[in-house]
Homo-oligomer: A and B are copies of this chain.
Amino acid sequence: MGGDRAPREIVAGALLARDELGIDVLLVGPDDGTLGDTRGLPVLDAREVIAMDEDPARSVRTKKDSSLVRCAEAVRDEQASAMVSAGNTGAAMASALLRMGRISGVARPAIATPLPVYGAHPSILIDAGANAECTADWLLQFAQMATAYVRARYAIANPSVALLSIGEEPTKGNTLVKESHELFARTEGVNFIGNVEGRDLLLGKADIIVTDGFTGNVALKSLEGAAATFNSMLRSAVNSSLSSRIAGLMLKPALATYVKSVDPENTGGAMLLGVEGVCIISHGSSSARAIKNAISAAHEMVSHGLVEQVRSAIGSPSGSKPQFGK
């Protein structure tokens, strides 16, 4: 298991998922006592560690006894129904892709990340970083896979799809966006509503916001960076004097309601769509609560048959053999 706060928060999150939600959890990591007291949770032994900054593809090839590789194998071998990790995002993706395999017909798996929207279900940003360079055809598949996902996850029958661009007009954007705009508009089964801009990302203008993995990752991290800056400014202001500290205490309950509704820890983490299994990649800084919510989302998606639904959304024959490798 990985993540900045592993193993403590991960094990604690797994225990919350078992005790509060009744979900069977299999821990994957070193079975040598370093995980602490797992209170009866089974451990699948994996002695190697892929660090947060290691090269994804290489580390997955060379570290066959890492928790990420063993975890993806457990899903492949039906020892587990889904994979949840807060470790190295690229390595988690590579493990899932190489060990579970791609769904037949999927050009490229993509990361579907929930963007919190105040007072509503999150919007799904896809691709949030799996593919730095994309074609319009891939973007269309991202839209189709995300449509299946949002249907299963938020029970929205006909989720709206938008393209992330630099203007609402179809003529705005780079070549990829303009080509995709045309392709989306004439493709049935995709409820395309046009372009949205960066400033719309948190407003819930579309259920699904499609972009290439480079732009998606920059946008997501820009939002995270802005949130961190505001948070630290607010804290500094509160701590700047006695009266500010009192004001902070008075304001806290009201602010907490809002913050809670947009806290990424509650949204269940990012979903890797297009692989032969449910795979959730949580933020590296995930707390026990975030891990519990990710396990809960994974459990729910398995019950809804997400993989089968993604398969059918992209028009892949049902039950086809997984296609391994890249």
Report A's interface with B, CB cutoff 8 A: 118, 129, 132-133, 164-166, 172-175, 177, 197-203, 211-215, 217-230, 233-234, 236-238, 240-241, 243-244, 246-248, 250-251, 254-255, 257-259, 262
Contact = CB atoms under 8 A, between A and B. Distances in A.
Q: What are the 5 A-B residue pairs with the smallest beta carbon separation, nearest first?
A: A198-B221, A226-B226, A199-B225, A247-B250, A198-B222
A173 B240 CA distance: 40
Q: DSSP majority for the A interface?
A: helix
Nearest to A218: B198
A56 B224 CA distance: 32
Contact of A234 (B236, B246, B255, B257): B255
Given A201-B226, A226-B226, 18 more contacts: A132-B166, A132-B173, A133-B174, A174-B212, A198-B217, A198-B223, A203-B225, A215-B215, A219-B222, A230-B230, A233-B255, A237-B251, A240-B257, A241-B254, A246-B250, A248-B251, A250-B250, A251-B251
B237 A244 contact: no
Nearest to A258: B233
Contact of A218 (B197, B225, B244): B197
Interface centre among A200, A233, A244 (most CB of B within 10 A): A233
A165 B129 CA distance: 11
A251 B244 contact: yes
A236 B200 CA distance: 19
Nearest to A175: B133
Contacts of A174: 132-133, 212, 214
Given A166-B218, A214-B173, A250-B243, A227 B224 contact: no
Contacts of A258: 233, 236-237
Contact of A237 (B173, B198, B254): B254
Contacts of A236: 258
Interface centre among A221, A222, A230, A262 (most CB of B within 10 A): A222
